[in-house]
Structure formats: C-alpha cells, structure tokens
Amino acid sequence: MVKKQDERTENTIPAGYMPDYLTGGQIKETKKELVRQKEIRALIHEYQILPEDMALDFPIDGRKKADVVIFHHDKEHTLENISRIVVCCPEPMVGAKTVRIRDPEQAETDLEKIKDLMMAIKSCEYGLWTNGLDLFFLQKKTTRFEDRFNFMGAWPLADESLGTKDVYSDAHTRIAEPGMLKITFRRCHNYIHGNEGMPKDAAFWQFLYLIFCKMYDENLRKTQRHTWQPRFWAGLTEQYNPEGQKNISGRIKELFEEVKKKYDIFHGNEEITLSDRALAFIVSELARYDFLRSSIDAKGAAYQELVGVNLRGDRGQYFTPRGVIDLMVEMLDPKDGETILDPACGTGGFLVSCIKHMKKKIENKREEKRKKSDTEEFFEVDAEVKEYSSRYLFGADFDPFLIRASKMNMVMSGDGEGHLYHINSLEFPNGYLVKNIVAQEDELNKKLQKKHVEPKKGILDILKLGSFDIVMTNPPFGSKIPVTDHNILQHYELAHDWEKDGEGGYRNKGSLRPSVSPETLFLERCIKWLKPGKGRMGIVLPNGILGNPGDENIRWWVMQECEVLASIDLPVEAFIAEAGVNILTSLLFLRRKSKEEKRIEALKGPQEYTVFMAVADKVGVDRRGNKLFKRTPDGEEIVETVQHTEVIREKQRTLSRKEKIPDNDLLEIAQKYREFLEEHDG
C-alpha cells in the first residue's frame, strides 16, 4: 500500500498547486505564480540561464525578497553573487478590454520595489519587473555618489554584458518560448491599439506589416548569408531615446518599401503610420526573436490569438482551433508529392499545419544520417519545406483581408510563395474574381512570350476540378448566410430539389432551390475537387447536415460519390472558446470513388466497409477557454515527466520537468485512427 501511495503522489498534484518549472517540485498556484512560472521558462529557454544558477524567494534585506534571483554562473548562492533579479506581480484583470502598455514614468510607483532591491544588492546589474503584460528591463549603473537606472528593450543573454556598443550584434536573437511569444504579440498589438489610439483592425494590420518586415529581413539572411546586413533590429536602449527611435523608424520604413515589392498581396499604397515611439517599441519586442528557428507551433499560437480577436468574420467565418486542425492533418497524413487545397483557407491554419507535418517528416528522415552542422542542416530543411509548400499547397478565400492574414501565417511558417487566391470557391471556374486573375495571367504570359520564356500555369489549370489529392477545410456555414445567386446554384446537384425514388434512394427533380446553405455547396465542391478513385478530404460540418431528417438526400448523394473514411463528433467547447460560436460540429473524412467503383456499385449494389467513428468529449479547454488537465477520480491533476532538449553554451542539455497532461481527446483519437488503419489496411 505504501508503494502505491508513493507512486500516486509522484504522478499527481493536489488541486490548487502547479509544477514548479525551476525546481521540478510543487508550488501553490496563484495569479502571481502563473506570471512567475512563465518568466522562469523564458529565463531558461530564451535567455539560456541555467536552473542551477537561479533561486526563488531569495531574502535580500531583512524581510524583503526577490521573486527570482540569478547568480553568476557556478558561483555560490550568496547575496554577493547575485547578478540579476526578477519581481513579479499578478496580471491585471481587465476583461475584454485592451490593456494599455505603460512606459517607465507611468509605472514609477511599481518600479520602486525592484529599484530598492537592486540598490540593496551591490553585485546586481540587471532587473526585470513584470505583471505578465508590462515588462520593464533595468540596468543599474553605480557611480561614486548614486545608483542610476537605465531602461532596456531586453536583457542580454546569460552571463553576457552590453559592452560599449549598442548594435545588433549585442542583442542576440533567441528561439521563442511559446508562452512568451504570445505575450509579445499581445503587447505589440495592445501598444498600437491602446497607446496609438488606432481601432483594433487597423492596429492588427500595422502589426502585420511589421511582421512581414521581420520575416523578409530574416529570409534575406538565408539568401545573403555572408553579406547580409540586418535592418530589423533595435539596440538594447534605442527605444528609450528620440534619436534611437528615429533611427529604427528609418530602417523599418525603408525595409517595408522592399516588402511591398516582394509580396504580391500588397497594392503598393500601404504605409506604416505608427509614431517613431510605437515603431521602436514593437521592433524592440520582435527583434529579440529568431522567427525562422522558432517552432511553427509557437508562432502559430501567438498569431492565432491576435487573428481570433481581430478578424472574426460576420459571414460564418469561424476560425478553426489548432487542435482540430492538427487532428485533421494527422488523420489525412499528407505524403510528399500530394497536392493539397483549402478552398476556404481563412488565416491558413490547415496549410500551416501541413507545413509543420511535412517539416517533421523531413527532419525525421534526415535524423538517421545527420552529419552536417546545425546551421547547414537548418537551412537545408528550411529549403525543402519551402519547396514542398510552393509546389503542393494551395488556398483560396473570398475575403481579401483573410488572404493577407493567411499569407503572413505561411510566411512565418517557412513558406514565402504559397499559392493563395482571392476568389469565391463556390463560383470557380466562373466569377469576376477568377476572370480578373485570368486577365492578369494572360497579360503576364504575353510579356513572357515576347521574352521567349515559357508561360506560367494559370489558375484554371492549377485549381482544375478533379485534380487534388487532398482537400481539407472548415467552410463558412449557417442558415443565416444562404447562397441565393442563381448563377452559382445552377452548377450544383445539391442545389436542386430531390425526391425519393421508391428504391431506397433519391433522384434529382431538376428544379433549382431558391437558397442553399453554403456548407452544402462546399461539401459538393470539395468532393468534385478530388481526384476520382484516390482523392481524400476532411471537412468541418455542423451536425445538422449529418443528422437532420430533411438533409437525408445530401447524405445519400455523398454515399454515392464517396467512401466514408471517418466521422468525429466534436463538443461545443471545440469552437466556443477560440471562435466564439456555440455550435456542435463534426469532422467528416471521405475518399472520392472512381467511375469504375460507381459503375460496379450500380450493378451489384453498395459494398460494405468499415468506418472509423469517434466522439471527443474533451478538447483541452472549457467553454471559457480555461485549460483542462487530466485528473484522478479524487480530483488530483495528473503530471508526467517531459524532456526539453536544447543547446546551451554550445552543449546539448536535457531538462526533465513534470507537467500537467491536457485533457484532450483529440490526441488519443489521432492515435486510435492510426491503429485502425494498421488493422484494416495493413
């Protein structure tokens, strides 16, 4: 009995407690502690400070304590060896309001405590005060008569000093820790919206322009590795003086002019309208990170948080939670060489997940015969990912703003030239948007012809019906946004009236319905985009279309055209937290039948086959978006040991820490589907 109790204690954590990322033990979960734990992760993974060089709640002067102290490397943990300290406060609770980012003068009262502590520690040079959103980095300058404090954009990395210069080489970039990158994105957006007085959507696009500049500058590093002169950077103190702010502004605006010429989604008249002060703040926030080396998940989570707030549409555009996206990609398991289309791509979530999926495959394949340096390996993997994306990934959306947002999402994920089209997919190959693109392509090909250059493939060939290996999408849906255009409806079988044929099936009456829900048309269009016999798809659908008695003819038609691979029921929490919509949905997976298969079934009747079905009760969050973790029957949360491997001080280091396990059925469903395929196909 004693042994079982020990095992239970080791693998669970009492309610109200959380794993301490510094010590690996348990610590009481408070609002302040949540802020401190995020900072500890950043100190270890971003600033490369070793856990053994840190301590919590270290006594400074009598009853005063610093929340986190960092000692000089390999030095005894005494007051005389403290080099940096961190003071944390709970994150401000403001509901849905945007938090105004304060400058040092506005936070003067809060900063008194950390200044007092730093003055009490003679050896302490750097300090950080944070409430989770405000971040103030300080450097103490001790003179003969007083201690003075300078504000910085960030700390130098572990055991580094600023030196005498204030240039890019002194502000080393780092791989983003996911939680901190989300905070960085939120701080940037809040600064533009709250401090510049811009509406949320305008603030989002200004921020997007700067992300484009950041990624463009980093991509130049790949193509001009030996001559690259970075421009998206901020010296550690530049943002706090007018001359530095002006210098940053000049570099970035020059860079943006090149960005507008590089990416075809810009019209050329876009401008960065931020003040020099705001521009310097944001560049300082973003410049510290190496976006190319940071994980796709980290960048995607940060980006999606802003997108969900700013671009949630009023035309049934419910942005798909990343867990649902990853499940669909995992189940469809795209192979190298397979073409993929999302005809309602929104912000590009499915396409980005495909990039992540393929990048993992490429890395795993290379791992077995890896001989090159990390840098060489990184650039080669990156080149393979970009080649894959530019050849096989395609997206379309009716909203031009979402096409821009999708482009940015893909650029951040390692793709620079994704095939994204501003069209109404339900109109293809017709519609004025398609005609505009065709006209532009014809004009371009005429110019190429004069130069004796082979013409480029056009949209009518690229998006030809029946030509894709995989289609995956979350289309706009709902009875409040019906499609009523006769020019669109006439091209769809499911836009017609149907009647029972008396033999268990349905027949098309030939008359056109006055209006049809968009998800019905998207379902038919996606099937028609698949290659007959092999093309497969995944689609998010409202449960009504799969269960309403009035939609039985739709289900019958789908069964004639496709083999059903799988059906996954999702709980309402899947969309209510991230997309803000209270609706039950399912994931439907299909394979399009060939003409021969349909001919045989017409003669011999339907063939029996096994369908994978699952119901997800939990998706890792509750209705309010709060994270859910697995618990024992008596309410204790379960923890598991997770290993984080990274290179610190040119040596590989593995940090083992206990972490809570998300209560998310989607992860288990993906595994069960793999087992199902092995059993029935293998």
Mean pLDDT of the chain: 87
Amino acid at residue number 360: K
Return the closest-CA partner of residue 392 out of 333, 337, 335: 337
Q: Is the peptide bond before 532 cis (omega within 30 degrees of 0)?
A: no
Place of tokens 């004009």: 443
Q: Which pLDDT belongs to residue 2?
A: 31
Alpha helices (H) along 288-424: 296-310, 322-332, 349-367, 374-392, 400-412
Return the closest-CA partner of residue 87 out of 51, 109, 105, 111: 111
Q: What is the pLDDT of residues 440-491, one digit of tens each?
A: 889 888 888 888 888 888 999 999 999 999 999 999 887 678 999 999 999 9
81's tokens: 């060896």
Q: Which pLDDT belongs to residue 171?
A: 45
Tell me how crowded residue 203 is: count the other CB atoms within 10 A of its CB: 25
- Give the CA distances from residue 425 to residues 45, 453, 588, in Å, rounded to whole numbers and listed in that order: 43, 30, 19
Q: What is the pLDDT of residues 315-329, one digit of tens each?
A: 445 578 889 999 999
Question: What is the phi-psi region of residue 138: left when phi exceeds 0, alpha when psi lies from -120 to 50, beta otherwise?
Answer: beta
Q: Which pLDDT belongs to residue 368?
A: 60
Q: Which pLDDT belongs to residue 162?
A: 45
In the predicted model, residues of the chain with pLDDT beneath 50 are: 1-9, 162-171, 314-316, 682
Q: Which pLDDT belongs to residue 203?
A: 85
Q: Which pLDDT belongs to residue 87?
A: 96
Q: What is the pLDDT of residues 170-200, one digit of tens each?
A: 345 778 888 889 889 888 888 888 888 888 8
Q: Which pLDDT belongs to residue 7?
A: 39
Return the closest-CA partner of residue 527 out of 598, 583, 630: 598
123's tokens: 């050896």
Q: Which pLDDT belongs to residue 11?
A: 85
Q: Which pLDDT belongs to residue 164?
A: 36
Amino acid at residue number 61: D
Q: Which pLDDT belongs to residue 376?
A: 74
Q: What is the pLDDT of residues 235-282, one digit of tens each?
A: 888 889 999 999 999 999 999 999 998 887 888 899 999 999 999 999
Q: Which pLDDT belongs to residue 173?
A: 74
Q: Which pLDDT belongs to residue 408?
A: 86
Q: Which pLDDT belongs to residue 95?
A: 57
Q: Which pLDDT belongs to residue 371?
A: 54
Q: Which pLDDT belongs to residue 71?
A: 95
Strands 82-88 and 419-422: unpaired
Q: Which pLDDT belongs to residue 10?
A: 66
Strands of the sheet with 82-88, listed across from one edge: 54-61, 64-71, 82-88, 126-130, 135-142, 147-152
Strand partners, 151: 138
Residue 199 CA to residue 206 CA, distance in Å, equals: 11
Q: Which pLDDT belongs to residue 271?
A: 93
Q: What are phi and psi of 390, to 5 degrees?
A: -70, -20
> pTM of this prediction?
0.88
Q: Which pLDDT belongs to residue 479?
A: 65
- Torsion, CA 570, CA 572, CA 574, CA 579, rounded to 10: 140
CB distance 74 to 18 below 8 Å: no
> What is the full DSSP assignment across 498-567?
EEE-SSSSEEEEEEEPS-B-HHHHHHHHHHHHBPTTT-EEEEEEEHHHHH-GGGHHHHHHHHHHEEEEEE
276-287 and 242-262 are packed helices; what angle lies between their axes, rounded to 10 degrees?
70
Q: Which pLDDT belongs to residue 169?
A: 42
Q: What are phi and psi of 653, to 5 degrees?
A: -135, 135
